[in-house]
Amino acid sequence: MAKIPYRFYLTEEQMPKQWYNLRADMKEQPDPLLNPADLKPLKEEDLYPIFCKELAHQEMDSETAYYDIPDEILEMYKIYRPSPLIRAYNLEKELGTPAKIYYKFEGNNTSGSHKLNSAIAQAYYAKKQGLTSLTTETGAGQWGTALSEACSYFKLPLTVFMVKCSYEQKPFRKAIMQTFDANVIPSPSNTTEVGRKILESNPDTTGSLGCAISEAVEKAVTTEGCRYVLGSVLNQVLLHQSIIGLEAEKAMNILGEYPDVVIGCAGGGSNLGGLIAPFMRDKIKGEKDIRIVAVEPASCPSFTRGKYAYDFCDTGKVTPMAKMYTLGCSFMPSANHAGGLRYHGMSPILSKLYHDGYMEAVSYEQTKVFEAAKLFARVETILPAPESSHAIRCAIDEALKCKETGEEKTILFGLTGTGYFDMTAYNAFNEGTMSDYIPTDEDLQKGFDALPKVE
Ligand SMILES: *Cc1c(COP(=O)(O)O)cnc(C)c1O
């Protein structure tokens, strides 16, 4: 067999033409979304006021295993996909490990992350339905950037409610979104009722993700032809992100490889759910015995210390309730947390798989994560996003274990994006001012006490 190349790209013909819906092969389904008003399971039609129809259908469909990707979406995917599958020869050498390390790099587009894969799909279906605008919220700005890119491509007006402190601290994120013609509004704003109320009682607030979601949802339901879109957690987002795993599986297959361990960072679970989709399918069917590992920050440990319970998907409690691993919807990581992945809950699909023992989870403190990021940047010459660096940390530790045992394992991890807008965090690490904080059991208990009572 010829030597495996450093960077491997599928050809255009080899690119997957379908997404894969993991729910179709799960032995047991995740619990249904509930309407908070009467605690009854939601029906597809109940979602129509918030999501466009095709996306509402995808959200509820647990039976169709493969969805044809519409040609218009494939055309845009081709601009920046396939993403490369990279053999981390340099990292392997640096670690002196017998393990083979591969990573799937999703940072090769202007948005700098995997989020564009779902943004394109969501913008396309909205346009196709004849909707005339979309709204969303963004915290750090990656999702808002990806959606701005997709909406400008499909000529669909977009309003982004950006948490006010990010709006002020990340002017370049805002500038990219505006370049792609998005209307970026610092939240809370006086353009919505909920925003005006918050400003009245707290004029100096710097905003929160929960507040931005509430504003975006209000704008969607009160504007003709407008819908709200979300960049993670949802089943439809995991479906779109399956393109990552399907490409990785196909590329590895061509190279004569199959992973023993698949590793991904977990915020709301969309990149991880997408990366593992085909490998989890093989595992569920009993065809492969592999390990699948979710990596999260010790300061926001939804899987490793959260509760599997019904909770709201947002801090503002305007969304349906989902059964998931959660820290409680009012949970906020401590102020010194810089590594992203700060969402309180986790994808219901991944939560169910974790609960049923199909996957593992680990957590790391952020200084350990940035150490790994710096080592990786030096030898692989890509500046990783702090989020992605959680997966790097875990892959390095797995490779070091192989060094001890002499096992030649094949490790695959997801490198979800680049870190150019996170230089404040890198600065803190380089200057030695970055610190770690692990919430105490008492800290977490406050979030659990506030969980909605559903029985
Ligand atoms: C948003 C983001 C994540 C986390 O989101 P998931 O839905 O858990 O995948 C990870 N990496 C990058 C670069 C991101 O922008």
Determine the pLDDT at residue 207.
Answer: 84
On average, the pLDDT of the chain sits at 95
41 in a structural domain: no
Residue 430 sits in a domain whose CATH number is 3.40.50.1100
Q: Is the domain of 178 the same as that of 239?
A: no
Q: What average pLDDT does this structure show over 288-303? A: 97
Weakest mean pLDDT among 232-246, 333-347, 376-390 = 333-347
CB atoms within 10 A of CB 41: 12
Atom of ligand 1 nearest to the CA of 273: 9
368 in a structural domain: yes
Give the residue, out of 416, 418, 420, 421, with the most ligand 1 atoms within 8 A of its beta carbon, to mutate for a pocket test. 416
Q: Is the domain of 171 the same as that of 83?
A: no
* Cβ–Cβ < 8 Å for 185, 191: yes
23-41 per-position pLDDT tens digit: 999 999 999 999 988 999 9
Find the distance separating the first CA and the last CA of the chain, reported in whole Å: 58
Measure the CA–CA gap between 127 and 241, rounded to whole angstroms: 20
Q: Across the strands, what pairs with 137?
A: 161
Q: Is the domain of 189 the same as that of 289?
A: no
Q: What average pLDDT does this structure show over 63-78? A: 98
Q: Is the domain of 165 the same as that of 104?
A: no
Determine the pLDDT at residue 176.
Answer: 95
Q: What average pLDDT does this structure show over 280-294? A: 98
Q: Ligand 1 in contact with 271 (CB < 6 A)?
A: yes
Determine the pLDDT at residue 332.
Answer: 81
Give the residue, out of 109, 233, 271, 347, with the most ligand 1 atoms within 8 A of its beta carbon, to mutate for a pocket test. 271
Q: Residue-wise over 406-433: b if at least 16 C-beta within 10 A, else e?
A: eeebbbbbbbbbbbebbeebbebbeeee
Joined together, the tokens standing for residue 189 give: 């704003």
Q: Is the domain of 275 the same as that of 424?
A: yes
Residue % of the chain over a pLDDT of 70: 99
Q: Is the domain of 408 the same as that of 280?
A: yes
Weakest mean pLDDT among 234-243, 259-268, 314-323 = 314-323
Q: What average pLDDT does this structure show over 85-106? A: 98
Q: Is the domain of 120 the same as that of 107?
A: no
Q: Is the domain of 123 the same as that of 100?
A: no
Query: Residue 342 Cα, ligand 1 centroid: separation in angstroms?
Result: 10
Q: What average pLDDT does this structure show over 291-300? A: 96
pLDDT at 318 > cutoff 90? no
Q: Is the domain of 97 the same as that of 135?
A: no
Q: What average pLDDT does this structure show over 436-452? A: 94
Quote the number of domains for the chain: 2
Weakest mean pLDDT among 134-138, 246-250, 421-425 = 421-425
Q: Is the domain of 197 the same as that of 288?
A: no
pTM: 0.97
Measure the CA–CA gap between 85 and 252, rounded to whole angstroms: 8
Determine the pLDDT at residue 2.
Answer: 65
Q: Which domain holds residue 122?
A: 116-230
Burial degree of 218 (CB within 10 A; 0-12, 13-18, 19+)? buried
30 in a structural domain: no
Joined together, the tokens standing for residue 190 give: 């006086």
Query: Residue 341 Cα, ligand 1 centroid: separation in angstroms?
Result: 7
pLDDT at 1 > cutoff 70? no
148-166 per-position pLDDT tens digit: 999 999 999 999 999 998 8
Query: Residue 373 Cα, ligand 1 centroid: separation in angstroms?
Result: 16
Atom of ligand 1 nearest to the CA of 107: 13
293 in a structural domain: yes
421 in a structural domain: yes
Query: Could you say which of 190, 208, 230 is where a domain stops?
Result: 230
Q: Ligand 1 in contact with 232 (CB < 6 A)?
A: yes
Q: Is the domain of 217 the same as that of 335?
A: no
Query: Could you say which of 203, 230, 257 is where a domain stops?
Result: 230
Strand order in the sheet with 7-8: 7-8, 85-87, 100-105, 410-415, 261-265, 291-297, 360-364
Q: What average pLDDT does this structure show over 381-385? A: 97
Q: Across the strands, what pairs with 20?
A: 66
Q: What average pLDDT does this structure show over 39-55? A: 93
Give the residue, out of 83, 108, 109, 113, with the most ligand 1 atoms within 8 A of its beta carbon, to mutate for a pocket test. 113
pLDDT at 316 > cutoff 80? no
Query: Could you say which of 199, 230, 261 is where a domain stops?
Result: 230
Q: What average pLDDT does this structure show over 4-27? A: 97
Q: What average pLDDT does this structure show over 237-252? A: 98
pLDDT at 455 > cutoff 80? no
Q: What average pLDDT does this structure show over 223-244? A: 96
Q: What average pLDDT does this structure show over 136-154? A: 95
25 in a structural domain: no
8 in a structural domain: no
Residue of the nearest CA to atom 13 in ligand 1?
417
Determine the pLDDT at residue 31.
Answer: 96
31 in a structural domain: no
Q: Is the domain of 443 the same as that of 422?
A: yes
172-215 per-position pLDDT tens digit: 999 999 999 999 999 999 999 989 998 998 888 888 887 898 89
